[in-house]
Amino acid sequence: MLKHRGFPGRLAGTDFQFTIRRPNPKGVTPLKRLERFADRKPLDRRADSAFLSALWSHFGAAPFERGNLDAGRLNWFFGREIIPATDPFDIADYSAVLMIDEAVARASFPEAFEEGRA
């Protein structure tokens, strides 16, 4: 499992996790699309925005390996702002390659792309 050095481990001052420390001994948590509802708490939305901002700062538009990025956090974006970069794509592989769909991400989280954000 690739560890993304320099990537924030969590949202500062919260327990919203962005990365994992070690592979899951029971197997890789598969990625799946989770629905975001309009009534989400402001702190949840702030965590989403901070995570997407960190991804953009770290990888930009380039494809990136899933590695130690938290599946629970990725699932909120998977299939919308974060898409598979390869075909076929294994949803349960730490070496799966993802990428940010910039147009969708900017429309959903414009604040994540502001200069000096991350």
Q: List the domain range (segments joined by +) for residue 49.
A: 42-113
Q: Who's near 85: CB < 8 A, 6+ residues apart?
A: 63, 64, 97, 98, 99
In a domain, 100, yes or no: yes
In a domain, 73, yes or no: yes
Mean pLDDT of 100-116: 89
In a domain, 6, yes or no: no
In a domain, 33, yes or no: no
In a domain, 26, yes or no: no
What is the pTM assigned to this prediction? 0.90
In a domain, 70, yes or no: yes
Q: pLDDT (tens digit, 9 = 90+) per residue, 40-87? A: 899 999 999 999 999 999 999 999 999 999 999 999 999 999 999 999
pLDDT for res 116: 53
In a domain, 102, yes or no: yes
Give the count of domains, the chain.
Answer: 1
Q: Mean pLDDT: which of 12-21, 37-46, 93-102 is highest?
A: 93-102
In a domain, 76, yes or no: yes
pLDDT for res 117: 54
- Name the strand (E) or helix (H) holding 105: helix 102-108
